[in-house]
Amino acid sequence: MENPNPAPPPERKNADLEANLGYAYQRAWQRLLAWTGAHQLDPLALTKEDAARFYREMVAASGRTAASSQVQARAALAFAYDHWDVPNPFTRIKPPRSTPPPPADFLQAHDLARLLGHLGDRQATYGESLSFHLANALFFTGARFSEIANLRWSDCLLDPVGRPVAVRIRGKGGGHYNLPVTGTLGELLTQWRTIQDQHRGMKVFAARGLKFCRSEYVFAGPGGEPYTNRSFNNHLRLACKDLRLPCILTAHGLRHSAATILLNDHGKNLREVQEVLRHKDIRTTARYTHVAYEHTRSTLDALGGSLPSPRKSGGMMAGSRRPDLEEQA
């Protein structure tokens, strides 16, 4: 049976969103046809029980149980059955419960300093030097990996001496943002550009040297393309194991760590951290931050100084007498 041929969608401002939605619908249709074919079932005559079984397996196989993914899948299936003009067996099926997101990996300030120092000491190769400077860029901006990995040198605003003072990134959802570059990161990016220029044209990149030399990406891989998340995470994983840190940090963990350190060590509130991370919902920010036990204790200790000292108990020990009563007697 052929996939349903959707009617041309209405005009939308964002063509990328339109294309991605069509691909998502096609994936849901293909999964349905493949599943029914494997189980020798007719997709036009699915029972409610079979539809529920397919839906659970599809969500579990995709590894995505977020509500948005489930709504999208149900919309694609509803579109298909409306196109086929047959009853939709998925109409009254309750979607699987969303599982809570896994705990975010993060490091406190002292462990993160050890990690960055370790990466800085191990810069024998281009990839090791790239990982050190990329880790600093991710931490000092609190940006997502894709936002920094796709950064071009033309997106950097330079001061009169050629040091980056701000970068323009394309954020989640396609919006563009200007991020300030701190003094420490500005010096590191200047240093990184010198290192990168020294590697252009080296024999080690002979097979892909031309593309690498022409690449405009700040953190270009050996072939000139943006450095991959997988390669970067491999460097982080090895460094974390060498240092025996409490967790294996990932690129996104640097973003979590930045938010946590701002909250715990510098007294920033959730609203301020939300602005740095560019979250629309502050509840997302709260999930990305982790309050240390010491910080919680110091916060509660502050309550002790906000009220006057409590008066001593007015009760009397057995056998004692009040002076005013003795005078009256």
Active site residues: 144, 172, 252, 255, 279, 288
DSSP helix/strand/coil, 311: coil
Structure token pair of residue 318: 């057995």
* CB contact at 8 A, 21 and 30: no
Please state the φ and ψ torsions of residue 78, each to the nearest 5 degrees.
-65, -40
Look-up: residue for tokens 């916060």? 299
CA 123, 129, 132, 135: dihedral to nearest 10 degrees?
A: -160
- 8 Å CB contact between 65 and 59: yes
Q: Which long-range contacts (CB under 8 A, 24 or more apart) does 15-18 make?
A: 16/174
Do 262 and 141 touch, CB atoms closer than 8 A? no
Largest CA distance in the chain: 109
Torsion angles phi and psi, residue 310, rounded to 5: -65, 140
How long is the chain?
Answer: 329
Phi then psi dihedrals of residue 130, to 5 deg? -60, -45
Which residue shows structure tokens 């593309």? 211
User: Secondary structure of the chain: what % helix, strand, coil (to 5)?
Assistant: 55, 5, 35
